[in-house]
Copies of this chain bind each other. A is one copy, B any other.
Amino acid sequence: MTDGATHTLDVVAVGNALVDVLSHDEDVLVTKLGLQRGAMTMVDFDTAERVYAAQGPTIEVSGGSAANTTAGLASFGATAGFIGKVGADEFGRVFTHDLASLGVTFGGTARDGAGPTGRCHVIVTPDAERTMSTFLGVAGDLQPGDVDESLVTRAQVTYLEGYLFDQPAAKEAFRRAAAVAHAAGRRVGLTLSDPFCVHRHREEFLNLVERSTEVLFANEHEICALYEVDDFDAALQHVRHHTEIAALTRGKRGSVIVSGDEVHVIDAVPVERLVDTTGAGDQYAAGFLYGLTHGRDLATCGRLGSLAAAEVISHLGPRPESSLASLAAALFD
């Protein structure tokens, strides 16, 4: 792959357009609702309603994993686009407003009557862990035809959210975006999103990672799930020959970046107070992709990822509240 052609966007992301509905609740609620602690579970409307009815007071804030990453990229000063689908309702307006206010180009569509905007019910427990129940709404209706090819062609990196693999049509949209990107000589980034999602679609993910991904993001649980190993180092040895770059995150133990024979072990940036881990992986990807599209070496890309992740886990919500550009400037001083 070459990045030689002229581009006008750093990153375009394809993902689920969601509004997060966040509450602080006790662990017992997660148990009572029968949810998988720390995971993202796709739920139907009725289950989403049951979770919502059980949540304490909530705040609503734009979310969606890949969309959060574009918000982080914008905060670093990168140019980003997003492709996804919202409904013609208030949550759809919220999602659209928040991307527009950051200068992110929204290649999504709002469809009257097609259904509601998707939402992710996030229960944040006292240990700052988040347990997510996602009702996709029209986000799950993303079709190959919804992929704005001009956006993909214009972007250095097309970044794909693994969660999309739970919807057959969205998975096709995903493959289409990758094909268009590659035809234009661009790179494709992929985040595995969730170990359970990897379990559900392991063969397809393996195929995609090995054949169509230049930049892979995964946490240790996801990468172990992909290779069906228990040990992080075993997964690392597998992945290093399968993608150009793999950025593997390990929570407070930092991240490992591997690209052929090049390996970097990057520390996490310590935080004063851990509030909510929602968006940690999304913002790590934002920092990494910002560095990558701005000519930084891989170790610096990793440090930028750690920086952005530390910012977002210090407060409630999945998108940065402070300017990541300012934080990055301090890093380079």
- In contact, B57 and A60 (Cβ under 8 angstroms): no
The oligomer's copy count stands at 2
Could you tell me if A97 and B58 are in contact, using CB atoms closer than 8 angstroms?
A: yes
The stretch among A87-95, A287-295, A298-306 that forms the contact with chain B is A87-95
In the bound complex, residues from chain B placing their C-beta under 8 Å from that of A91 are: 90
Bound-state Cα–Cα, A98 to B117, Å: 20
The chain B residue sitting closest to A74, CB to CB, is: B57
A317: contacting residue among B24, B52, B59, B97, CB under 8 A = B59
Chain B residues with Cβ under 8 A from A132's Cβ? Answer: none
Q: How far is the CB of A47 from chain B (nearest CB, A)?
A: 16
| Complex Cα–Cα for A60 and B63 (A) | 12
Shortest distance from the beta carbon of A70 to any chain B beta carbon, whole Å: 12
Determine which of B24, B89, B97, B319 lies in contact with A90 in the assembled complex, contact meaning CB atoms within 8 Å.
B89
Residues of B contacting A56 in the complex (Cβ-Cβ under 8 angstroms):
101-102
**Nearest chain B CB to A30 CB, angstrom units:** 16
Contact present for B57 and A102 (CB under 8 Å): yes
Asked if A61 lies at the interface with its beta carbon under 8 angstroms from chain B, I say: yes
In chain A, residues 81-115, which have Cβ atoms closer than 8 Å to a Cβ of chain B?
Answer: 89-91, 94, 97-98, 100-102
Which residue of A56, A57, A91 has the most chain B CB atoms within 10 A of its CB atom? A57
Interchain Cβ contacts under 8 Å between A and B, 16 examples:
A21-B94, A53-B97, A53-B100, A57-B62, A57-B71, A57-B98, A58-B94, A58-B97, A58-B98, A58-B101, A59-B60, A59-B61, A60-B61, A89-B90, A90-B91, A90-B116
Chain A positions within 8 Å of B, measured between CB atoms, are 21, 23-24, 52-53, 55-62, 71, 89-91, 94, 97-98, 100-102, 116-117, 317, 319, 321
